[in-house]
């Protein structure tokens, strides 16, 4: 019997001791949103992030990347890589083993944060 090689290029790491294979198709990107904890003001009151949420662009870390999309029969490679921090607009919410992710099209990624 031949053993199958594990695909690590597009693997989403959910927990350090366990891997869940998520391979986005086409020009899709799996992003884990970077959330700030509630901010504490001088008086000690904690203001939750949702209180000042503007529903605009959000920051996230790329967890898995699709192969790209075909344009006139030519595969156009993706412009983002696993591990990069990005600014994105919206996506489809996914929950994998209790952790939340967003599946976004590459066109919904506004910028790479360096």
pLDDT tens for 49-99 read: 554 555 678 899 999 999 999 999 999 999 999 999 999 988 899 888 888
- CA-CA distance, 8 to 112, in Å (whole number)? 22
Note the pLDDT tens digit of each residue in 17-31.
Answer: 345 568 899 999 999
User: Which of residues 49 and 4 earns the better pLDDT score?
Assistant: 49
Which positions ≥6 away from 80 have C-beta within 8 Å?
29, 62, 65, 86, 106, 109, 112
Q: What is residue 53's predicted lDDT score, i.e. its pLDDT?
A: 54
What is the DSSP secondary structure assignment for residue 36, as one 8-state letter?
P
Query: Residue 100: in which H helix or E strand, if any?
Result: strand 99-105
User: Which of residues 5 and 28 earns the better pLDDT score?
Assistant: 28
Q: b or e along 29-64 (b: 16 or more beta carbons within 10 Å of the residue's beta carbon)? A: bbbbeeeeeeeeeeeeeeeeeeeeeeeeebebbbbb
Helix/strand/coil for 86: strand
pTM as predicted: 0.68
The answer, yes or no, to whether residue 40 has pLDDT greater than 80, is: no
Task: Name all domains of the chain by residue range, CATH numbers in brackets.
Answer: 12-113 (2.30.33.40)
């Amino acid at each position: 019997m031949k053993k199958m090689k594990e695909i690590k290029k597009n693997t989403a790491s959910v927990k350090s001791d366990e891997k869940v294979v998520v391979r986005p198709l086409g020009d899709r990107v799996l992003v884990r949103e970077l959330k700030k904890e509630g901010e504490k003001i001088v008086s000690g009151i904690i203001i939750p992030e949702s209180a000042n949420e503007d529903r605009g662009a959000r920051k996230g870390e790329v967890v898995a990347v699709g192969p790209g999309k075909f344009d006139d029969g030519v595969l156009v490679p993706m412009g983002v890589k696993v591990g990069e921090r990005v600014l994105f607009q919206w996506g489809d919410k996914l929950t994998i083993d209790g952790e939340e992710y967003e599946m976004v099209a590459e066109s919904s990624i506004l910028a790479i944060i360096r």
